Structure 1
């Protein structure tokens, strides 16, 4: 995979509650955002790769559902993760 173990731990430490906290919504959103940007760059070079395009759409949907969960659960956490990652709705 394109992310090493150390890079994932850094993402979880920065956006989650700790480097081993892989279950928090913020950590998952950060990983999904990283994967989405990687797949977007891939699709810019390979525009006919429809399987990757489908995977990208599914990832965006998963991230959206996690963001919707955060809106319902805690709006301040939602606003903080949106600001940190630069995501727009």
Structure 2
């Protein structure tokens, strides 16, 4: 689970306007943070298949958000990829 402070930092880094908490850019940032935490968990707990499934679902959801951003605005897509450090 991502802490409130980390979530607030991610939102501050990726928001499009002052009251933005749910745009695709913010969602990509939050999902990236959660994916990183879960990947670290799975390095220690290799047989935790429930968490592995959750990780795959999050990766898929992040990819969907990135595809949407790419379709709507390519400049935002490039910025989102740089922030999330993902492909």
TM-score for both structures, normalised by structure 1? 0.89
Q: Does 1:17 align with 2:16?
A: yes
SS at match of 1:23: coil
Gaps of 5+ in 2: none
- What is the deviation of 1:19? 6.3
Paired position in structure 2 for 1:57: 56
For the aligned residues, what is the CA RMSD?
A: 1.4
SS at match of 1:22: coil
Q: Which ranges of 4 or more aligned residues in structure 1 deviate by more than 3 Å?
A: none
Gaps of 5+ in 1: none
Alignment check: 8 A CA contact 2:28 2:62 kept? yes
In the alignment of these two chains, the number of paired residues is 87
Alignment check: 8 A CA contact 2:29 2:83 kept? no
- What is the deviation of 1:20? 4.3
TM-score for both structures, normalised by structure 2? 0.91
